[in-house]
């Protein structure tokens, strides 16, 4: 997940969505839901907005959330 977010961060608007990344996008949405990040979740729930748009918008915050999650799993 973190590698995916880093790639998006580096390419951001030039990121090409690949349907093989669907499982990572789902994991990101689940993590945001579990962590209670309502602002990001609201963006994921906007009709007619592809989840990659939300990921691109929030990529830096999502990287922090993913790192925090990894750190907690290590402990």
Mean pLDDT of the chain: 91
| pLDDT tens-digit series, residues 13-23 | 777 788 999 99
pTM of the model: 0.88
* Containing structural domain, residue 22: 2-74
How many domains does one find in the chain? 1
**CA–CA dist 28, 51 (Å, integer):** 10
| pLDDT tens-digit series, residues 44-65 | 999 998 899 999 999 999 999 9
Cβ-contact 2, 63 below 8 angstroms: yes
DSSP secondary structure string for all residues of 1-56 = -HHHHHHHHHHGGGPPP-GGGHHHHHHHHHHHHHHT-HHHHHHHTSTT--HHHHHH
């Amino acid at each position: 997940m973190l590698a995916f977010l880093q790639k998006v961060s580096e390419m951001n608007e030039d990121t090409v969505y690949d349907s093989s990344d669907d499982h990572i996008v789902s994991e990101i949405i689940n993590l945001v839901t579990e962590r209670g990040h309502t602002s990001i979740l609201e963006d994921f729930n906007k009709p007619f907005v592809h989840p990659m748009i939300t990921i691109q918008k929030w990529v830096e915050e999502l990287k922090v959330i993913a790192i925090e999650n990894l750190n907690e799993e290590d402990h």
